[in-house]
């Protein structure tokens, strides 16, 4: 398709937010508004996507390019932070629309982008077949010749800007994060937790770790969070959801995140042998989240936190259980 006229950036669609520094946040519409983000970085007429949302997000990603009057061949990179489908599910269909882009993926995730069969089956085991059709649609394979793998401390060029990638295990072994020096921000994927805008408050928001199955490793995640913080970021670009920590708030969010992670691990160890372990894990996580969010200025009751974080509590309990079963004592 052709763009009839070049709209000005102030005519962005309602689901595209200009964050400055050539960084645009795109609401992928997965689950609900302001739940799942993809990012478009633009510098000197060249562009990169970081995370793609699901297959259903691709029209919005392309609409963002159109609104910014960027041709499809201006995109050099598509960089999913990891291969979970709310981050990479749309990568194949997106790549098919971008003639010169390369997919840059963690080496442990590359084969799943070329042949998504195992990825689809793994996600179906977690979410069930109906939810897979409804929420994820399909996963289009990426031709192997268009896939590049990342390595720790890799530098990457987009226009005149240099990005830096680091290997970030803990949420998943196939996760990398991307440092943007221009805005001093990390595209953190799922490594710096979840902070929905609803959880925002005058004190700078509240945040919780995500331990989605099946590669959650809390000790590794804590090290990853420490490494992200060591760069003294001015902000974090979260997939769930949006930019957080601007105005000097990143260290505070980091402290909350690491504290909630440590409490969650201690709770999980305590219910390891519980007869209904899954229910005990869910109740334990809810207690921790309700208490922490209340202490850090969120005005939500326990019931409201239970409702707002229902999906996360379920997935975090599942992922924590998988870790408990793998860890030896
Ligand atoms: Zn994930």
Q: Encode pLDDT of 237-284 as tens digits.
A: 999 999 999 999 999 999 999 999 999 999 999 999 999 999 999 999
Residue 272 CA to ligand 1 center (angstroms) comes to 24
Q: What is the DSSP string of 210-265?
A: ---TT---HHHHHHHHHHHHHT--SEEEETTTEEE-TTTTHHHHHHHHHHHHHHHH
Residue 2 CA to ligand 1 center (angstroms) comes to 35
Average predicted confidence (pLDDT) for the chain: 94
pLDDT of residue 165: 98
Please compute the mean of the pLDDT values over residues 150-170 and round it to a whole number: 98
Question: Considering the entire predicted model, what is its pTM?
Answer: 0.95
Residue 215 CA to ligand 1 center (angstroms) comes to 10
| 277-295 helix and 250-270 helix, angle to the nearest 10 degrees | 150
Q: Is 190's pLDDT higher than 60?
A: yes
Tokens of 285: 């996580």
Residue 28 CA to ligand 1 center (angstroms) comes to 15
| Other CB atoms within 10 A of residue 306 CB | 16
Separation CA 66–CA 75 (nearest Å) = 12
Residue 253 CA to ligand 1 center (angstroms) comes to 19
pLDDT in tens, 48-101: 999 999 999 999 999 999 999 999 999 999 999 999 999 999 999 999 999 999
Residue 83 CA to ligand 1 center (angstroms) comes to 7
Residue pair 150/105 in contact by the 8 Å Cβ criterion: yes
| Other CB atoms within 10 A of residue 150 CB | 19
Residue 43 CA to ligand 1 center (angstroms) comes to 27
């Amino acid at each position: 398709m052709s763009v009839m006229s070049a709209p000005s950036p102030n005519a962005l669609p309602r689901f595209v937010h200009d964050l400055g520094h050539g960084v645009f946040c795109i609401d992928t519409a997965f689950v609900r508004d302001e739940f799942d983000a993809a990012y478009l970085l633009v510098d000197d007429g060249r562009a990169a996507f970081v995370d793609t949302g699901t297959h259903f997000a691709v029209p919005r990603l392309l609409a963002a390019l159109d609104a910014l009057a960027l041709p499809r061949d201006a995109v050099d990179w598509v960089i999913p932070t990891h291969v979970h489908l709310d981050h990479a599910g749309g990568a194949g269909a997106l790549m098919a629309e971008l003639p010169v882009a390369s997919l840059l993926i963690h080496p442990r995730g590359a084969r799943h982008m070329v042949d998504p069969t195992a990825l689809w089956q793994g996600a179906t085991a977690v979410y069930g077949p109906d939810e897979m059709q409804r929420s994820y649609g399909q996963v289009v394979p990426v031709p192997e010749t268009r896939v590049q793998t990342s390595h720790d401390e890799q530098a990457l060029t987009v226009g005149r800007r240099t990005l830096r990638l680091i290997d970030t295990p803990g949420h998943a072994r196939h996760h990398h994060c991307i440092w943007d020096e221009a805005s001093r921000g990390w595209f953190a994927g799922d490594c710096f937790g979840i902070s929905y805008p609803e959880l925002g408050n005058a004190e700078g928001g509240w945040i919780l770790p995500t331990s989605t199955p099946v590669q959650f490793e809390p000790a590794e995640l804590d090290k990853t969070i420490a490494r992200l913080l060591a760069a003294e970021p001015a902000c974090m670009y979260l997939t769930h959801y949006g930019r957080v920590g601007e105005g000097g708030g990143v260290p505070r969010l980091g402290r909350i995140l690491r504290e909630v992670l440590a409490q969650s691990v201690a709770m999980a160890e305590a219910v390891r042998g519980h007869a209904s372990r899954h229910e005990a894990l869910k109740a334990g996580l809810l207690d921790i989240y309700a208490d922490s969010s209340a202490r850090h200025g969120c005005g939500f009751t326990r019931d409201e936190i239970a409702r707002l974080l229902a999906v996360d509590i379920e997935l975090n309990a599942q992922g924590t259980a998988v870790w408990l079963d793998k860890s030896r004592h």
